[in-house]
Amino acid sequence: MNLSLLRLSSKSLWREHPLWNWLGLLPFFAFILFFLLVPSLNLFSGAFVNRSGAFTLENLAVFANPNVIKAYLTSLQVSLITALMGGVFGFFVAYAVTIGNAPRWMRNVILTFSGLAANFGGVPLAFAFIATLGRTGFITALLKGICFSNVAGEAVCPFNPYDYGFSLYSLSGLVLAYTYFQFPLMVLTITPALEGLRKEWREASANLGASEWQYWRDIALPVLTPSLLGATLLLFGNAFGAYATAQALTGGSIPLVTIFIGQQIRGDVLGNPHEGYALALGMVVIMALTIVAYTALQKQSSRWMKS
Amino acid sequence: MNARRSNFWALFWGALAILYFFLPLYGTLDFSLRMKRGELSLQAYQIVFSDPRFWEGFRYSTLMALITIVISVLIFVPTVYWLHLKVPQARPVVEIITILPFIIPAIVYVFGLIRTFSRPPLQLTLSPFTTDILIVTGYVVISMPYMFRAVDVGMRAIDVRSLTEAAQSLGSNWFQILAHVILPNLRIAILSGALICFATVMGELILASFLVRPALGPYMALLGLTKAYEPAALAIISYALTWFSLGLIQLISRGGTAQQFTGR
């Protein structure tokens, strides 16, 4: 390639130096440096200085603050539950559209809507769930409307979810709303892995007398494990960083880390901006670990699928 | 293998997924039409559409989305082109950078933007205009994972080297190669990236809300605090916008590959 370019262009030789080629990426790197790296690093360096600018580890004391611990635990809990729920549900749906041989129209609808719903979130999602499962939502109204009269002739409506402590504006409601974008993401990430399971493996195991259960336990699931773990991690990170849906649904009453950071930006609720930076840094550390592990597992599973 | 049983479970999980997709949509649509007691009406939509703040938010978000798309194309097309042609060894670095917005949540990112650009030497949050510059760069960063991937996939489908050498042998300079050879070949990929960009910016809440700009997202959030039926109508409008953009991508990327005039 270098040879042909040499022949084509009459540019001087130093322009063919490998370092010159990197200069072509300069606008990109400059943009990223200025508007992504500097703001991020500026935030993180803020976590390690005190008000007068001297280096300190004192701000890490924020992680001993009971409110902060509670926020992290709640965020981890929501992310874990929705990753597992969305993961298991999404896996079965992906199974349905691949190995399960669901009808063609169903497969098309599910795959199309997964692409759409996985990108759908934020405020409109909260509104949609309020209109569906809120106090006056239509499913709530439907369930409320199922009434019987008991022996005394009084009407009993045993299915109103709000009588049983359910509330859309609480943790369980948040989990239901998050699942709306979590399980489609699982469908999208795990479908290729399921399609990678070879028919021959199944036939070979059947020939050797394995039951379907044994096939799944000893062959399919071990092969799928890296993909499943990776996809679940992706779902975890997806929920951990979410802000808008929770804010719009609960008005900030559920103490997630993202909500806490939002309050800290608005009004310095911690009383020390540098502790706020430490709080944000903790979040990025968790996200980074998640994404790095996801990428590693994804590589592992693609190697497996090729061999 | 028991074919009938697996088919039952496939139908069961498939039906459950479709219910999960459509019930909230149906609920929202139904709710948005019930503003007048006892009848279906479009009153909630009429109220939203006659609210000047809605149009202000709509205009603002559309304008920001368009500027974001133009800047994204100007940055990412030459970068990905150069990456493919000259420095493939830079790919791992660039790829890690482009997934950074997934690692740094938007709320943390906006925190960093505010800390960095609300004080000298570069105080951008002082006037609405400079804040808009800041918000556009933020949108470019937030939509970067999608835009980069879209352009990258498009670039993979064409023979960058042959096209470049052919253009060079005809005497084109770098600008002509990019504008007249590479860009037309990437139009499907750029369009799909642009549509994701558009959908992302139109629904974005965090940047606009914390940088206090009159975008659609903060308007929606505000309406949700004070009204009952209008938010449902707004959610349907927002659904329609997003799903129109994303649906269009699926449409063009399905039928579109055959229309590319590649070098191969």
Backbone φ, ψ for residue A230 (5° rounding): -60, -45
For the record, the structure tokens of B87 come out as: 């420095």
Whether residue A155 sits in one domain with residue A233: no
Query: Taking a C-beta distance cutoff of 8 angstroms, is the pair B262, A161 a contact?
Result: no
Residue A156 DSSP symbol: E
Q: Single out the residue of B50, B63, B51 nearest to residue B215, CA to CA.
A: B63
Domain membership flag for residue A1: no
C-alpha–C-alpha distance, residues A185 and B253, integer Å: 20
**Residue range of the domain that includes A180:** 57-123+172-306
Domain membership flag for residue B264: no
Backbone φ, ψ for residue B228 (5° rounding): -110, -50
Whether residue A247 sits in one domain with residue A164: no
Domain membership flag for residue A179: yes
Q: What value does the mean pLDDT take over residues B49-76?
A: 95
Does the structure show a pLDDT above 50 at B4? no
Whether residue A274 sits in one domain with residue A210: yes
Of B36-45, B66-75, B160-169, B199-208, where does the model show the most confidence?
A: B66-75
Per-residue model confidence (pLDDT) at position A291: 86
Closest Cα in chain B to A123? B221
CB contact under 8 Å between A36 and B1, yes or no, is: no
CB contact under 8 Å between B108 and A95, yes or no, is: no
Does the structure show a pLDDT above 90 at B208? yes
Confidence of residue A304 (pLDDT cuts 50, 70, 90): low
Does the structure show a pLDDT above 70 at A3? no
Domain membership flag for residue A24: no
Does the structure show a pLDDT above 90 at B262? no
Whether residue A200 sits in one domain with residue A284: yes
Q: What value does the mean pLDDT take over residues A167-172?
A: 88
Does the structure show a pLDDT above 70 at B256? no
**Residue range of the domain that includes B195:** 25-259
CB contact under 8 Å between B30 and A127, yes or no, is: no
Report chain B residues whose CB lies below 8 A from the CB of A40: 100, 104, 108-109, 112
Does the structure show a pLDDT above 80 at A39? yes
pLDDT in tens, A199-227: 888 889 999 998 888 998 988 888 898 88
Per-residue model confidence (pLDDT) at position A37: 93
Backbone φ, ψ for residue A271 (5° rounding): 80, 5
- Give the one of A21, A40, A136 whose C-beta lies nearest to B87's C-beta: A21
Confidence of residue B66 (pLDDT cuts 50, 70, 90): very high
Domain membership flag for residue B154: yes
Does the structure show a pLDDT above 80 at B54? yes
Whether residue A270 sits in one domain with residue A222: yes
Distances (CA, A) of A67 to A70, A75, A269: 5, 12, 11
Distance from CA of A259 to the nearest CA of B (A): 9
Does the structure show a pLDDT above 70 at B215? yes
- Give the one of A97, A247, A280 whose C-beta lies nearest to B111's C-beta: A280
Domain membership flag for residue B9: no
The ipTM of this complex is 0.84
What's the mean per-residue pLDDT of chain A?
Answer: 86
Whether residue A102 sits in one domain with residue A217: yes
CATH number of the domain encompassing residue A76: 1.10.3720.10
Q: What value does the mean pLDDT take over residues B25-42?
A: 89
More confident position, B6 or A31: A31
Confidence of residue B70 (pLDDT cuts 50, 70, 90): very high
Q: What is the DSSP string of A18-53?
A: HHHHHHTTHHHHHHHIIIIIHHHHHHHHHTTB-TTS
- What percentage of chain A reaches a pLDDT higher than 90? 39
Report chain A residues whose CB lies below 8 A from the CB of B14: 93, 96-97, 100, 102-103, 106-107, 110
The domain total for chain B is 1
- What percentage of chain A reaches a pLDDT higher than 70? 93
Confidence of residue B254 (pLDDT cuts 50, 70, 90): low
More confident position, A81 or B86: A81
Per-residue model confidence (pLDDT) at position B257: 42
Domain membership flag for residue B55: yes
CATH number of the domain encompassing residue B245: 1.10.3720.10
Distance from CA of A284 to the nearest CA of B (A): 6
Per-residue model confidence (pLDDT) at position B209: 93
More confident position, A167 or B63: B63
Domain membership flag for residue A89: yes
Q: What value does the mean pLDDT take over residues A177-191?
A: 93
Does the structure show a pLDDT above 90 at B187? no
Domain membership flag for residue B77: yes
Cβ count near B177 (within 10 Å): 21
Distance from CA of B129 to the nearest CA of A (A): 17
Domain membership flag for residue A39: no
Per-residue model confidence (pLDDT) at position B6: 53
Number of A to B CB contacts under 8 A, please give it.
Answer: 269
Closest Cα in chain B to A187? B17
Domain membership flag for residue A20: no
Does the structure show a pLDDT above 50 at B191? yes
Q: What value does the mean pLDDT take over residues B142-156?
A: 92
Does the structure show a pLDDT above 90 at B5? no
Does the structure show a pLDDT above 90 at A100? no
Distance from CA of A152 to the nearest CA of B (A): 32
Domain membership flag for residue A50: no
Domain membership flag for residue B122: yes
Closest Cα in chain B to A251? B225
Distance from CA of B180 to the nearest CA of A (A): 19
Domain membership flag for residue A109: yes
Whether residue A158 sits in one domain with residue A282: no
Does the structure show a pLDDT above 50 at A75? yes
User: CA B51, B54, B55: angle at the middle one, nearest 5?
Assistant: 95
Q: What value does the mean pLDDT take over residues A177-199?
A: 91
- Give the one of A4, A43, A115 whose C-beta lies nearest to B115's C-beta: A43
Whether residue A232 sits in one domain with residue A142: no
Whether residue A188 sits in one domain with residue A91: yes
Whether residue A186 sits in one domain with residue A105: yes
Domain boundary among A168, A191, A223: A168
Confidence of residue B263 (pLDDT cuts 50, 70, 90): very low
Distance from CA of B221 to the nearest CA of A (A): 6
For the record, the structure tokens of A49 come out as: 């200085």
**Interaxial angle between packed helices B3-32 and A104-117, expressed in degrees from 0 to 180 and rounded to the nearest 10:** 50
Whether residue A246 sits in one domain with residue A268: yes
The domain total for chain A is 2
Report chain A residues whose CB lies below 8 A from the CB of B221: 123, 244, 247-248
Whether residue A234 sits in one domain with residue A140: no
Backbone φ, ψ for residue A148 (5° rounding): -125, 160
- What is the residue whose two structure tokens read 């996200």? A287
pLDDT in tens, A107-166: 989 988 888 888 777 889 999 999 999 888 888 888 888 888 877 777 787 788 888 878
Q: Which of B30, B107, B198 to mutate to test the interface with A (most CBs of A within 10 A)?
A: B107
